């Protein structure tokens, strides 16, 4: 082989190497047999393909570093602030209320009554005719049924707190309008802040929607504990509704048993 043939061979070899490098092949195993007599390569002679090294996640910042930059990123559940007010101060603030149209046909303002250190509170929507005359919540037929319900879970009426969202009787015992409820609701919330009950039982749609700020119906939420600023809330049917449909008494009893069991289970913590 003369020099010109050797030079052509070098050029061709170089070209092949560049082509192989472009394909990502860095080297080839050398055959141990002469050309034309090679057996299939043994496993040890084949190129070994290692799985790609998995990408590791960047190290997490030291505990507290995000909080130091942005504050506590975990949103704390809202808790009801304790109040040092008295019921008498709230009642004086309400006075001979004329804040909404309900005052025009009422006889008396019906305030919340009962144990002001109660673990259990009942909230209805508004006084009825008997309540309007006697200036006490839940003293009519529905109130008598509520008293039986309270006694059925092992408590006395005087051991719990009983009130309504509205303190004046709506004409014809209709439900208070949202505007009427908005005038009275703040006073109820102030009372709740004073008492800090463990459980509030809301009786019927109007009371439930006003306290929980929800548009869900009582049939959907009843029987399941809800939350009002860290206080357990049990929605159930209003006693007046039970008088119209006694078949719902069983469901109401199941709801109140959950309340009873919760109060019993947490009695040591109170």
Count of CB atoms within 10 A of residue 237's CB?
Answer: 20
Give pLDDT, residue 21. Answer: 60
Phi-psi region of 59 (alpha: psi -120 to 50; beta: other; left: phi over 0): beta
Give CA–CA dist 155/71, Å, rounded: 45
Give pLDDT, residue 22. Answer: 53
Give pLDDT, residue 61. Answer: 47
Backbone torsions φ then ψ of 66, nearest 5 degrees: -65, -40
Give pLDDT, residue 223. Answer: 96
Distances 72 to 13, 60, 156, 164 between C-alpha atoms, Å: 66, 17, 44, 38
Give pLDDT, residue 79. Answer: 87
Q: What is the DSSP string of 142-211?
A: HHHHHHHHHHHTT--GGGSEEEES-SSPPGGGPPPPHHHHHHHHHHHHHHHHHH--SEEEEESHHHHHHH
Residue 15 corresponds to which tokens in the numbers above? 């070209």
- pLDDT tens sequence for the chain (270 residues): 566 666 666 677 776 666 556 555 555 544 444 444 444 444 444 344 344 444 455 555 454 444 455 445 555 567 888 899 999 999 999 999 999 999 999 999 999 999 999 999 999 999 999 999 999 999 999 999 999 999 999 999 999 999 999 999 999 999 999 999 999 999 999 999 999 999 999 999 999 999 999 999 999 999 999 999 999 999 999 999 999 999 999 999 999 999 999 999 999 775
Q: What is the DSSP string of 92-159?
A: HHHSS--SSGGGGT-SS----EE-TT-SEEEEES---HHHHHHT-SS-SHHHHHHHHHHHHTT--GGG
Give pLDDT, residue 72. Answer: 52
Backbone torsions φ then ψ of 65, nearest 5 degrees: -70, -40
Give pLDDT, residue 27. Answer: 54
Q: Which domains does the chain have, with CATH numbers?
A: 87-269 (3.40.470.10)
């Amino acid at each position: 082989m003369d020099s010109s043939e050797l030079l052509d061979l070098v050029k061709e070899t170089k070209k092949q190497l560049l082509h192989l490098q472009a394909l990502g092949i860095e080297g080839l195993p050398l055959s141990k047999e002469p050309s034309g007599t090679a057996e299939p390569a043994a496993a040890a002679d084949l190129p070994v393909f290692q799985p790609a090294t998995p990408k590791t996640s960047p190290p997490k910042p030291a505990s507290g570093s995000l909080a130091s930059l942005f504050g506590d990123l975990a949103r704390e559940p809202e808790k009801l602030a304790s109040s040092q007010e008295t019921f008498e101060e709230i009642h004086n603030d309400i006075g001979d209320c004329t804040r909404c149209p309900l005052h025009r046909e009422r006889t008396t303002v019906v305030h919340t009554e009962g144990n002001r250190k109660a673990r259990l509170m009942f909230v209805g929507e508004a006084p009825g005719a008997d309540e309007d005359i006697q200036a006490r919540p839940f003293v009519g037929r529905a109130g008598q049924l509520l008293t039986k319900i309270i006694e059925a879970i092992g408590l006395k009426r005087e051991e719990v707190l009983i009130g309504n969202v509205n303190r004046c009787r709506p004409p014809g015992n209709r439900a208070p309008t949202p505007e009427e409820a908005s005038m009275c609701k703040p006073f109820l919330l102030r009372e709740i802040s004073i008492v800090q009950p463990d459980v509030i039982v809301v009786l019927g749609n109007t009371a439930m929607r006003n306290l929980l700020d929800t548009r869900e119906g009582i049939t959907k939420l009843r029987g399941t504990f809800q939350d009002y600023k860290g206080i357990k809330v049990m929605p159930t049917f209003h006693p007046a509704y039970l008088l119209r449909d006694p078949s719902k008494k069983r469901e109401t009893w199941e709801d109140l048993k959950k309340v009873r069991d919760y109060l019993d289970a947490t009695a040591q913590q109170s």
